[in-house]
Structure 1
C-alpha cells in the first residue's frame, strides 16, 4: 500500500489529517504501508525571517482580530477532539516552510514520519521558527542525523529549488489545497477527513487494486 501525502508544515489541518490517517492505519493493519511526503508551499513569498503571525493571518483571511481568534478557537477544538494540540497563542511568526520540507526530504525513510511530526510539534506546540536552521538541526539531532551534514543540506539552494519545483508540480496536477492524500495512485482523500473516512478509503483502495 502506497500513500502519497501532500502537505505544508504550517497547515493545522494537515497535522489533523495526518493524525486521522495514522489512527486509521493503526486500526486497519491489512497491508504494509509506505508513505511518501510531498511539499505543498502555501505561501513561498514569506521571507525566512517571517512575518508577524496574527497580522499575516488577518490579511490572508481578510478578517478582523475577533473573527481570527474564533477561527483559531474552532481549529484548536477540532484538533483537540482528534488528539492534536494546536497552540496558536504560542505562534508568533508566519514562516517560510521550504527548509522544513528540506529536512523531511533528507531524513532517512525509517524516521521520516517521526520527523514530520516533530516539525509540526515545534511549530504548533512550541511556537518555534521552523525556517530556522538551528531549530531544524536540533530536530534532526534528536533522531541521530549527522548535524554537520544536515546543516549543509539545509543551506543548499539546490534543495530549495527542488522543493519549490515539486510544490509547483503538485498544483499543475490539480492539487490546489492541502492536506491531500492519494492511496495506491487511485483513491483520493481531500481535506483532514476522519478516522472512519480513511478506513473506508483504505478498504476502497484494496478493492480497486483487486479488480485491476
Structure 2
C-alpha cells in the first residue's frame, strides 16, 4: 500500500492569506479526490505567529494595527485590505475587516494543539478562522476560545484547563522552531512530504497538480513513497 502524501501547513489564524490558502488547498485536494486513482493525503497544521507582540486587547481596528505597527499609510492599508477581500471572495470566503478584532493568537494555537490530540484539529482550524475573519469574534480571550472549541466537539472544561495552564505552549514553540529550521519567514507555507516547500496561497489547481504528480511518481516507484518528515 502506498503511504499517504503528507502536507504540513504553517499558518496563523490571523493571517488572511492563510485562510485563502487553506480553502484553495481543500479545493485542490477535493478535485484530485475525484480521480480514478485518487491521491491519499494527510494534512497537519502547525503554529506560526505573524505578530507575537500584539496585545490580547488591541485598541483599534485592522487599519489602525497595520498603519501604526507596520508603518503603512492608511490609504495603502485600505487598498490592501480591499484587494485581499476580493481574493478571499474568489475562494468563497466573505472577509469582514470592519468587524475583525486584532489580537494575540498564541492561545488559539495552543487550543489547536489540544484539538489535534482529540482528532479535531481541522474542524477547530476552520471554526477559528471563520470566527476571526467573518464574524468578528475575539480569539485572544480564553472564554471565547472555549466556546468555539465546544462548538466543534471539544470538552469545554478540558479545553479551558489546557489554555489556563499553558499545557500546549511548548508545542506551539516547537512548531515555530521547526519553521525557523525550514527557513520559513512568511505564511502560509506548505511542506509536502518533508521535501518540497510551497510558499503562499497558491491556486487550487496548483495543489491538485502537485498531489497528482507525487501520487503518480509513487505508483511508478513505490520505494520513493517514504517521507523524510
TM-score (norm 2): 0.85
Q: Is 1:44 equivalent to 2:69 in the alignment?
A: no
| SS at 1:107 equivalent | helix
* Count of aligned positions: 211
2:161 is aligned, of 136, 152, 161, to: 152
Q: How far did 1:86 drift?
A: 1.1
Partner of 2:124 in structure 1? 115
Give the match for residue 72 of structure 1: 81
**1:192 counterpart residue number:** 201
How far does residue 22 in structure 1 lie from its aligned partner after superposition? 0.2
Where does the alignment leave 5 or more consecutive residues of structure 1 unmatched?
A: none
Please identify the structure whose Cα radius of gyration is greater: 2
| Structure 2 counterpart SS, 1:52 | coil
Map 1:16-165; keep pairs closer than 5 Å: 16-29=20-33, 30-53=38-61, 54-91=63-100, 93-108=101-116, 110-165=119-174
Q: Could you tell me which runs of 5 or more consecutive residues in structure 2 were left unpaired when the two chains were aligned.
A: 225-229
Residues 193 and 25 of structure 1, relative CA distance in 2, 3 Å threshold: same
1:178 paired to 2:187: yes
Please name the residue that 2:14 is paired with.
10
> What SS class does the counterpart of residue 168 from structure 2 fall into?
helix
Distance 2:184 2:209 in 1: 21
Q: Quote the Cα distance in structure 1 between the aligned partners of 2:22 and 2:59.
A: 26
**Which stretch shifts more, 3-12 or 200-209?**
200-209
